[in-house]
Structure 1
């Protein structure tokens, strides 16, 4: 991947003997491939790079050994470390005109586009460990193949046996890093977790799930697809999915995009108070074109995910049948790569072989079906809903799906324990023992389950009797008690529950279920509670709650607004209702009984929106009242009051500017860039009017230069020929108010050098 180191030294660094140390430091920091790139660029030409800083968080200090207790400690530590280490370097880069800065806090790095000479300056800064090219990776291609028997692949990895035991992936979240996912495919649509923490597009091309290729939809369907088409296609159909779209719609991803996806997977909502990371991540891609090499660009990312209790699987690559064709990052020490077998359980000719180029270990780690795999395909554009495909891209999701099933069955097991169970229970193929074609053998999900289950002991027993009645709007509580022959402690969860119901463990064998039923939940609500022991054994209890109805009056709160004299205040829904509530959770409110204001007129609407118009010249306070009504017709017992402060228009605020230009060089100055209008926050239509910038009579350039006001409010400045020194001129500007206010004059100081 890396080119040979060049002997040519940067002139900016190696002018004198003292500079020898500078050049040596740069050589150690700048990657050889980047050095070659820089030598071919002019100092002012820009290059996209990834910068790694020397300080690293020790992942092992935050290792999750019981996946039921996953947390965000590692996420918080990584972000805190990066915030401290990166600040000065980001300031430096921004001060040198660098742009497209992207914080790669998971590896304590920064992705940035900067001039070649700035990159060399950066390399000499303390704390910079390495700088390398932000390489572009092409999306994997879809490889269609001839038809194969339905479900042969699922039977080969024995997942129907786990389904029969009740383990289909319930409660487990899987993710893929791929070309995206088609969320409308009938085998996937109901399984997306949903929300902003369930889709990541580093290119900002699609706000919701989308797949431009089909590759990501296909790999996801192997993990969680159902049987809508008449036969099963997914290993863990009970799991939910989220996705990171690595590639843009042109099929390209920069290394920095991949780093961003990895760190998103650590904590998708970015909130350290919640644990919403996936349980299993599948990465059916590799650094194609670098077979047989060890590239550790993403080693820290992978290790961070696994430390946080997230299993990660990779495709072994399609560079076989030659030996020593392992592919990064799957061949990294933390990688868990899967090779492909055909329906005869023979290794596919294209499947990459070991040993691992990184540590000399067995490669791939596992084998799984990867020839003639029935998958979901894109549901739009008139394409068939299903396809048959081949490649190690489609072998890896079998391993990921099997890990999801085991995570369902053994929520306490660590990632290492889940991987070890798959490896130790695998069906040995090829030569006896682990080898560099089949790895440890064919994934055998049922055998892995039996291995983990062998030492699990007996399940717990739930001994309490559930509470069967509740009232809408009032608190419901049930104390769940259980026992365990092995001594627990027990983890309590809700398998099925109405929206809003929670469960909190208060002792090793007791949990409290709490809930406040809404108006929409009146009737019968089904609940199932699960008690799980440390070995993953569990007991469940199911019952129905009969919810009775009751109604309480809405509660209103006062509102306050500010507006500018002579205008109209338009407040959109929910308007006055925004801070109102109803004790009956789920009730909808409407606004009614708008009373005339103390000054001016008001037109109020049921959705809470209103339009207030003061008298044309009025300034001061005005107020009016209203009532809130619930959907049962009950109105609030007190009125809500709306206070409106009507202010006079204020002039724009201008700030002096200081700029510089070379001698005999004209320039355009954005004088409005640091100016503001104090009323814009109150009325967005009342702002600085760029078209009204003018030069006061007494504010013309004082050293013979000339100025021209442009239509966009910028000012063109031309110094007097041969002049050097400082020249000052002034400007002022009006706002867009109906009777515009004029700012005070601001002064522009131009240093002509």
Structure 2
């Protein structure tokens, strides 16, 4: 079990834009295939070391030396070709605005078409992980719905709500329906898995959040919700979301309440949700940008509150679990659908708002539970289409040495589940998140030709492969190529047009060959063979010298010299 201390608000580093992070800590994901030994060498340059690892996604918790700049070291590591990403372990706050006066009607359920969705599904058999501040297990609208969870802040199983936020989020997603009291959650039949990832002030670290998602995915949760400021834009949580997606689940995240445009790129690893009001306008405080996937109601959402209470709350913190509840309804309506298909149906059935198509304010539109659940129930999957895959680096035929960056492009009609890299038919490593890339230590194989194969597969088990051959040259090469001139023979008498043919061989490879006649360069050819038509009428009578040089990738040159008589 991962147990790492999270900084308190007083010790958390801050900038003028109120960013907070754990002092001296980075989250770093090496490329699949990079050994722990080589990774340690990369960190040592910066005086850093790995002190833990988030299971399932190979993200290392890296401790920096005192006085090191977290931002600067993260930027330097991110530019290393053998590192997939490096970022600070950010501390994020729950995206909750001040409580409003109680509203005794849950307008958001009618707006998203939840009643018609309930005619098909109530989320039964689906578990939603509430990765948050904990959940009040004794609340009358939540009691009996909770399954075992985990507390990352204290490294124990006590998932009591220490801040009040998680209980509100849990009720929004899955408060009990038809029990004659309180409120109705979107997916009232779903179970709740509480994962506490914050201190008592509500601040949670990326490392705890990612660990919580992986923990939940490994224990059967099909949906996870993260209602923290713009949490879906960070690479660490995206990696965890992809891990859950590969296991058939989806992660919903809050866009944030800053009312500002975010610079995060769009990612289909998780569902980033913005907030709308009662007339489908964007809430003025809802963040926006390319990273927005969807919008959902987020103004005056009536839900469960600590102390067995109820209240109306606002924020993208509640837009996200509304969407999580819809996802649970869809999964329960058709348990056979892969996560990628659930996600695409969720987007395609959304009510398009703002500019036509996906935009920076509403994403693909405002979530539509009725249409989404109906589409999920009526969709059958018979996926027989294999992914497409190609190795984009190194180039086929390239000569390589040491640590080699191997890049792969893969796509699929539904979704790529992962890519394996094989070296001479033996699996080296797997990568489950685009862009797909590996680090291969070529010193582990003998010099010479090696076949690299990328094997891409989807959730239905369809697979496709692409292979290239590269030349490994790790051993110091001092051996020159051997040249043979097969035409004409040494001492031959020549006239007219003479065909000169030469070949070369080398212990590694022949890079190029050059023909000289009487010291004058006539032709250069790549590879291990050369042919030239010599028109002798242009040359004088007498003895002429033919020389062919062959050079290998290390610069060693071998020659063959013959003489002919015209």
Change (3 A) 1:135 1:419: closer
CA deviation after TM superposition for structure 1 residue 295, in Å: 4.4
Change (3 A) 1:450 1:87: same
Partner of 1:105: 55
The 8 Å contact of residues 172 and 279 in structure 1, kept in 2 or not, is answered as yes
Partner of 2:145: 191
Unmatched 5+ stretches in structure 1:
1-33, 37-45, 57-80, 268-275, 357-363, 458-533, 535-753
Q: Indicate the SS of the match to 1:186.
A: coil
Counterpart Cα distance in 2 of 1:129 and 1:456: 36
Partner of 1:441: 365
Partner of 2:304: 376
2:209 aligned with 1:258, yes or no?
yes
Q: Indicate the SS of the match to 1:404.
A: helix
For residue 52 of structure 1, the aligned residue among 12, 23, 28 is 28
Q: Indicate the SS of the match to 1:189.
A: coil
2:118 aligned with 1:163, yes or no?
yes
Partner of 1:351: 286
The 8 Å contact of residues 103 and 311 in structure 2, kept in 1 or not, is answered as no
Q: Indicate the SS of the match to 1:305.
A: helix
Q: Indicate the SS of the match to 2:122.
A: coil
2:184 aligned with 1:233, yes or no?
yes
For residue 314 of structure 1, the aligned residue among 218, 240, 253 is 253
Q: Deviations over 1:204-240 (max 9, x none)?
A: 2652221111111111111110245635330111111
Counterpart Cα distance in 2 of 1:328 and 1:229: 43
Partner of 1:282: 225
TM-score scaled by structure 1? 0.42
2:262 aligned with 1:326, yes or no?
yes
For residue 143 of structure 1, the aligned residue among 86, 90, 98 is 98
Moved runs in structure 1, 4+ residues, more than 6 A? 87-94, 96-100, 117-120, 122-130
After TM superposition, the structure 1 = structure 2 runs for residues 354-369 of structure 1, keeping only pairs within 5 Å, are 354-356=289-291, 364-369=292-297
Change (3 A) 1:54 1:403: same
Q: Deviations over 1:52-109 (max 9, x none)?
A: 35332xxxxxxxxxxxxxxxxxxxxxxxx7xx93378679999x99999222233323
CA deviation after TM superposition for structure 1 residue 437, in Å: 2.5
Change (3 A) 1:308 1:344: same
Counterpart Cα distance in 2 of 1:399 and 1:261: 19
Partner of 1:248: 199
Q: Indicate the SS of the match to 2:35.
A: helix
Counterpart Cα distance in 1 of 2:361 and 2:59: 36
TM-score scaled by structure 2? 0.55
After TM superposition, the structure 1 = structure 2 runs for residues 271-670 of structure 1, keeping only pairs within 5 Å, are 276-287=219-230, 295-320=234-259, 325-326=261-262, 331-356=266-291, 364-379=292-307, 385-455=309-379
Counterpart Cα distance in 1 of 2:42 and 2:365: 52
Q: Which structure is larger by alpha-carbon Rg, 1 or 2?
A: 1
Q: Deviations over 1:246-293 (max 9, x none)?
A: 1122333333222322332331xxxxxxxx3211111111348xxxx9
The 8 Å contact of residues 246 and 261 in structure 1, kept in 2 or not, is answered as yes
Partner of 2:151: 201
The 8 Å contact of residues 205 and 248 in structure 1, kept in 2 or not, is answered as no
Counterpart Cα distance in 2 of 1:341 and 1:85: 47
Counterpart Cα distance in 1 of 2:379 and 2:87: 48
Counterpart Cα distance in 2 of 1:262 and 1:185: 24
Counterpart Cα distance in 2 of 1:436 and 1:53: 29
Partner of 2:172: 222
Counterpart Cα distance in 2 of 1:98 and 1:184: 44
Counterpart Cα distance in 2 of 1:394 and 1:176: 12
Counterpart Cα distance in 2 of 1:433 and 1:92: 44
CA deviation after TM superposition for structure 1 residue 147, in Å: 3.3
Counterpart Cα distance in 1 of 2:49 and 2:359: 48
The 8 Å contact of residues 95 and 315 in structure 2, kept in 1 or not, is answered as no
